[in-house]
Amino acid sequence: MRAAVVQLTTTRDVDASQDAAEALVRQAHEAGARVIALPENVAFMGSEKDKRALAQALSGPLFQRWSKVAQELGVTLLAGSNPEASEDPDRPYNSSVLFGPDGETLRARASENQCFVLAPAQYGENTALRRTYGRAMIFDPGGTVLARCPDRPSFALADIDLEQVRALRRKMPCLNHERHEAYRVG
């Protein structure tokens, strides 16, 4: 399976930011990616006041655009973070949503070790007061960098070998030693 991380320069212009992100998602798909990860603040980078005003439900256009793209391309797509409306309009959630190839939202628990890591990023001058430095990468379960974005909006691809994960987990069964009761609160 081939995966891609996307590196962007998101600005205050929501439409232009999302158009640029979508263009890179489509290029990554054309290059063979079946899992594509967008960075945080995929649609907007600006003031907290403006971000609060932009917040919307998961059924809103900020999120649903990515559902449609995932479905159209038949890919699993991590739609970076967008401001999701909460009960308190002054405190929106910073929500990343994972869409499956059917466009539906997937709920998954992230593994903390023995897995591939897809680390998308922002790059460039996002606003007059904010510059981001990129370095979007894909790591294998041993921490080796498999792919890295250059210093510009772009994407990086790597082949994900799930058998490598299974072999590592057989050789070093660390997850078998988890003690869930040790993490209980109260």
Confidence of residue 169 (pLDDT cuts 50, 70, 90): confident
- pLDDT at site 114: 77
- Look at the block and give the residue holding tokens 């992100």: 21
Q: What percent of the chain has pLDDT above 70? A: 89
Q: Locate tokens 């159209």: which residue? A: 72
Look up residue 111 and give its amino acid: S
- pLDDT digit string (tens) for 77-118? 999 889 999 899 999 988 888 898 998 875 432 334 678 888
Q: Looking at residues 61-78, what average pLDDT do you find?
A: 95
Give the whole-angstrom CA distance, residue 50 versus residue 32: 36
Specify the length of the chain in residues: 186
> CA–CA separation, 94 vs 177, rounded Å?
32
Which pLDDT tens digit goes with each residue over 12-65?
999 999 999 999 999 999 999 999 999 999 999 999 999 999 999 988 998 999
E-only strand ranges, 9-120: 35-37, 76-84, 93-99, 105-106, 117-119
Tell whether the torsion through CA atoms of 130, 154, 23 and 141 is positive or negative. negative
Cβ-Cβ contacts under 8 Å for 159 (sequence gap 6 or more) = 1, 2, 3, 146
In the chain, domain spans: 2-161
The β-bridge partners of 120 are none
CATH tag, 2-161: 3.60.110.10
